[in-house]
Chain A
């Protein structure tokens, strides 16, 4: 009959010990209380556990104090599916013509789709975002990027849409315009084709497009003017060419991405003929826009070999300040704060210790591979893959490996002998 709260030392002991076999069952049995307002309430007296010394311990991994069994499973929170946003009977469309460089959504495409969703939500009656993919599509999750409806064409009357074919693409857009009359036409203002196609479409539609638009709502648009020095405030037009980061990509929902039917337009004869990509000499590519750079520093001694490796790998040559000052490389090949700020996807640094000025210059590089003798230098901390070795030996093996790739013959034993002979000599 007494109201005295009795402690259960056994349960306390189990609650303290996460490795106890009954721990999960005990913690899962604790039901969260729902308060009068409908919010889940946490009883602070029940969170955490009291150590034997009487000191209370909180488990930060367990925010609610309950359901420990579920939250302790890593990756389960990510697997939780976002709610589905569906537009059942759209009264209109917001068309987005995506770039899809390499068949995948670029971050620019995602920004434009995010803005398209914002514009569709701002409409009074339900509008659907119509994502138009012309060419090969390798992206599987268009719904996750914000597409309510999708029109995808990889070819038009056996003409592939992969190369440069703005006239064919325009004829498809004309057909879409005829059937769906989108409220807006959004293009990414990018060098990957969006700016070109959008400009052509705006001129064909006799619309004064907003170019380099970076702030868009239903009524007004702000566009960057020439040399990025002015902003133009104007009413939002029907055709928009959007700057990168014009809006945040969608996050909270996933979207249906239902395919829409489109009867292919009449075949047309294109005036501009695509004769395919030109093989470019990597040494002619400007350092700032090169994709793959092989850079040499103070650790490189055999410069003929370095040039040979760059040619064989198809890399653009770069150099650190020391190599340039010593006269081994021209000044326009210098990477770093006083040279060129590069944006290469892959940067192979050989014999470069990584002065801070150099590391600034390669700040935008995605993958850095370093070859160095000093395992403690700054470049090793920056690099994704570091090889601690003499550059000359690694270069020789790289040349052998590339010859093997091209001819399919192994030279491993020859080089081993050659290497020993050199050491002996």
Chain B
């Protein structure tokens, strides 16, 4: 189902959308899977245009986790074949430059590997397109511009207008991906293309280790007398209890609540 404004905008010429997908990693079992954020990008791409989006992956064609994206209702997936330690950015930029595309969508960060989230910025920079981070939806497309909503902290949204074509990363707050069906996933076609991806020189001397647990920051009371420091260290963090209003009419109590809400800035 397309939003009405979008259907009108794309009636003459359907939007051409590409989604960059990666192989994800289950956070506990660490099995390969379809990446959550990339799946949301595919879902957003499917909802935008009647024409099926093209899926692009840089890596090895033999990967079974990639087929899960095809199970979302797509016919084919393009794999630019490259070594695991190759630099994906130039290969992707070279490939995308030749495609007639309007929007390129991807997740914010990859689930395995470096996961820096720099790839969409680097690709957009090489293509000379604008990059919009953390979008949740495309509201309308008119006059070669797209109105998108960007996710902000605390569930807030911001409206942005950006000229086509552009690159966007899709926030985890966007609509969740539809379920992947096994049959279509097996029937889908993986289009394997060789590409001349250079090894990533910058990362050659980096070392990868399992994540070390980070130390928790303790609140250490400094200064004051020994007695004060002892008190600060042993005092319970809560359990003081706040102000309790037992007396007064209901209206006074409601006024106290409202005054507190206004002071906190949640009621304007």
A interface residue numbers (CB < 8 A to B): 60-61, 63, 71, 77-78, 163-164, 191-192, 195-196, 199-200, 202-204, 208-209, 211-212, 214, 222-235, 245, 248, 251, 271-278, 280, 284-286, 289-292, 313-316, 345-346, 348, 367-369, 371, 375, 380-390, 393-394, 396-398, 400-402, 412, 415, 419
Q: Could you pull out 17 A-B pairs where Cβ atoms are within 8 angstroms?
A: A195-B117, A200-B121, A222-B212, A224-B211, A225-B114, A226-B110, A226-B111, A229-B30, A231-B212, A232-B207, A368-B242, A383-B241, A383-B242, A386-B242, A389-B250, A397-B253, A400-B254
Besides A381-B238, A382-B238, 10 more A-B contacts (Cβ < 8 Å) are A60-B227, A226-B114, A230-B210, A232-B208, A234-B206, A271-B162, A273-B162, A397-B254, A398-B257, A401-B258
B202 within 8 A of A: yes
B221 within 8 A of A: no
State how many angstroms separate the Cβ of A3 from the closest Cβ of chain B: 36
B184 within 8 A of A: no
B157 and A280 contact, CB distance less than 8 A: yes
What is the CA–CA distance of A60 and B210 in the complex, to the nearest angstrom? Answer: 49
B3 within 8 A of A: no
* Chain A hits for B243, CB < 8 A: 384-386
Which B residues between 231 and 256 are near A, CB-CB below 8 angstroms?
238-239, 241-246, 250-251, 253-256
List the B residue with the shortest CB-CB distance to A397: B254
Task: Find B112's partner among A226, A315, A381, A398 (CB 8 Å cutoff).
Answer: A226
Task: Find B214's partner among A208, A214, A369, A371 (CB 8 Å cutoff).
Answer: A214
Task: Find B261's partner among A276, A290, A313, A386 (CB 8 Å cutoff).
Answer: A313
Binary contact track B104-137/A, C-beta < 8 Å → 1, others 0 = 0000011111111110011001000011111000
Taking each of B114, B205, B206, B258, which has the highest tally of chain A beta carbons within 10 Å of its own beta carbon? B114
A164 and B160 contact, CB distance less than 8 A: yes
B31 within 8 A of A: no
List the A residue with the shortest CB-CB distance to B22: A226
Task: Find A275's partner among B161, B242, B261, B267 (CB 8 Å cutoff).
Answer: B161
A348 and B257 contact, CB distance less than 8 A: yes
B224 within 8 A of A: yes
Which B residues between 130 and 182 are near A, CB-CB below 8 angstroms?
130-134, 147, 149-150, 152-163, 173
What is the CA–CA distance of A230 and B212 in the complex, to the nearest angstrom? Answer: 8
B25 within 8 A of A: yes
B interface residue numbers (CB < 8 A to A): 25, 27, 30, 109-118, 121-122, 125, 130-134, 147, 149-150, 152-163, 173, 202-203, 205-212, 214, 217, 222-227, 238-239, 241-246, 250-251, 253-258, 260-261, 264, 266-267
List the A residue with the shortest CB-CB distance to B267: A313
List the B residue with the shortest CB-CB distance to A245: B217
B267 and A63 contact, CB distance less than 8 A: no
Q: Say whether, besides A276-B158, A286-B173, A397-B251, A315 and B266 are in contact (CB < 8 Å).
A: yes
State how many angstroms separate the Cβ of B96 from the closest Cβ of chain A: 16
Q: Say whether, besides A209-B116, A226-B115, A369-B257, A386 and B244 are in contact (CB < 8 Å).
A: yes
B212 and A229 contact, CB distance less than 8 A: no
B109 and A226 contact, CB distance less than 8 A: yes
Q: Say whether, besides A199-B121, A214-B214, A272 and B116 are in contact (CB < 8 Å).
A: no
List the A residue with the shortest CB-CB distance to B136: A278
A275 and B255 contact, CB distance less than 8 A: no
Task: Find A192's partner among B111, B153, B227, B246 (CB 8 Å cutoff).
Answer: B153
List the A residue with the shortest CB-CB distance to B264: A346
What is the CA–CA distance of A234 and B160 in the complex, to the nearest angstrom? Answer: 36
B264 and A276 contact, CB distance less than 8 A: no
Taking each of A199, A234, A381, A384, which has the highest tally of chain B beta carbons within 10 Å of its own beta carbon? A199
State how many angstroms separate the Cβ of B83 from the closest Cβ of chain A: 18
Taking each of B125, B156, B238, B242, which has the highest tally of chain A beta carbons within 10 Å of its own beta carbon? B242
State how many angstroms separate the Cβ of A342 from the closest Cβ of chain B: 12
Taking each of B116, B150, B152, B156, which has the highest tally of chain A beta carbons within 10 Å of its own beta carbon? B116
List the B residue with the shortest CB-CB distance to A227: B111
What is the CA–CA distance of A130 and B27 in the complex, to the nearest angstrom? Answer: 39
* Chain B hits for A383, CB < 8 A: 241-242
* Chain A hits for B122, CB < 8 A: 203
B155 and A61 contact, CB distance less than 8 A: no
* Chain A hits for B134, CB < 8 A: 191, 196
B250 and A394 contact, CB distance less than 8 A: yes
* Chain A hits for B133, CB < 8 A: 195-196, 199
What is the CA–CA distance of A224 and B150 in the complex, to the nearest angstrom? Answer: 25
B266 and A226 contact, CB distance less than 8 A: no
A371 and B257 contact, CB distance less than 8 A: yes
Taking each of A77, A195, A397, A415, which has the highest tally of chain B beta carbons within 10 Å of its own beta carbon? A397
